[in-house]
Amino acid sequence: MSDKEIIPYRPGLEGVTAGITAISDVIGAENRLIYRGYDIRDLAEHCEYEEVAYLILYGDLPTQSQLETFKAQLRASQQLPEAVYQTLKTLPREGNPMAALQVGVAALGMHDPKASDNSHDVNMQKAIRLIASMPTLVANSYRILQGQEPVSPHPDLDLAGNFLYILFDREPEPLHARLMNLTFILYAEHGYNASTFTARVIASTLGDIYSAVTGAIGALRGPLHGGANEAAMEAILEIGTPESAESWLMEKLAQKARIMGFGHREYKTGDVRAFILKQHVRELAEQVDRMDLYEIQETMERVMLREKNLYPNVDFPAAVVYYLMGIPIPLYTPIFAAARITGWTAHVVEQHDNNRLIRPRSDYNGARDRVFKPIRERG
């Protein structure tokens, strides 16, 4: 590339096109999200997560028989090798669940003889394996960190239901299973976000799918990305009562604090996924008699809009949904990973199928032409 063709630096790569994808499109200006051409609103209303995972991975919605085959493949891959559990059992109890997830995914790769085969068909097999095993890994790695024994997946439950089943070692309530399924759909894919981009950068070196996913988990962990759902819930709990929500928020805003669960790089007039999920928070809050949490959320949304013109992103209602289901807060970001695995793996397949090394340049702003001194002359 000649100097004339160099594109000026944009902080955070905001507005920069960094690749081409047919998997999803975030149309922020219209508050829309499409997976493979289908509006997220339709998918959220009519589909189960497995159907959406098939769509994201294969490009088309499945027929009934394709879906049954896909589910059978998922069922066959849900359990983790015993050796992976043994590895997880060596980790410190106080360790971070996202780090445990990285260990688990790396270990899954080490026990896969085809880990380094990046051909399309083998990548698709590995993607299915990862989509199937991630909810098991998230729930069981957490159980192991808590000193509990892993639970085997239930053959009659879907992936989202199985996550709850393994975590609590009992069959989930229908409303909980349905809402977990919905959050899996909403979290499944989201264009060139930081973790997906990380996965694609790793894949572009011809790194394998397990390495790409391990890196993506690291990117997701930060509070500006997936970690926001945990931070949002901590804030809601710190607020405590609906009456203190406004003053708490005003104080934080006066301190120029960032309020987790609000704002988005792409959606400036609201995150469509938050709109979809929010409709269900009330039902759940009523069921468990925690309308106070619902009201805190409502007040925070009203004040953030009034003061900062910022809308909640998906992490805000997701945090409350998970809390109301009784899920421990350190699991919220790992759950995001259990669903986003679909998007990550589809992007790795797409990257490997039409690869070019991702290698941007940087503007150097350090010193130049310094006079070198041998070490003995440096004082």
Ligand X SMILES: CC(C)(COP(=O)(O)OP(=O)(O)OC[C@H]1O[C@@H](n2cnc3c(N)ncnc32)[C@H](O)[C@@H]1OP(=O)(O)O)[C@@H](O)C(=O)NCCC(=O)NCCS
Residues that bind ligand X (CB under 6 A): 12, 224, 228, 258-265, 308, 310, 313, 315
- Catalytically active residues, by annotation: 264, 315
Query: Which is closer to ligand X, CB of 106 or CB of 194?
Result: 194
Tell me the closest approach of the beta carbon of residue 291 to ligand X, in angstroms. Answer: 24
Tell me the residue number closest to ligand X, measured at CB: 263
Least distance in Å: CB of 338 to ligand X? 17
CB of 228 to ligand X, least distance (A): 3
Q: How far is the CB of 67 from ligand X (least distance, A)?
A: 29
Closest CB to ligand X among 11 and 147? Answer: 11
Query: Nearer to ligand X by C-beta: 183 or 211?
Result: 183
Query: CA neighbours within 13 Å on the CB side: how many for 231?
Result: 16
Q: Which residues contact 284 (CB under 8 A, 6 or more apart)?
A: 175, 179, 321, 324, 325
Q: Which CB atom, from 11 or from 92, has the smaller least distance to ligand X?
A: 11
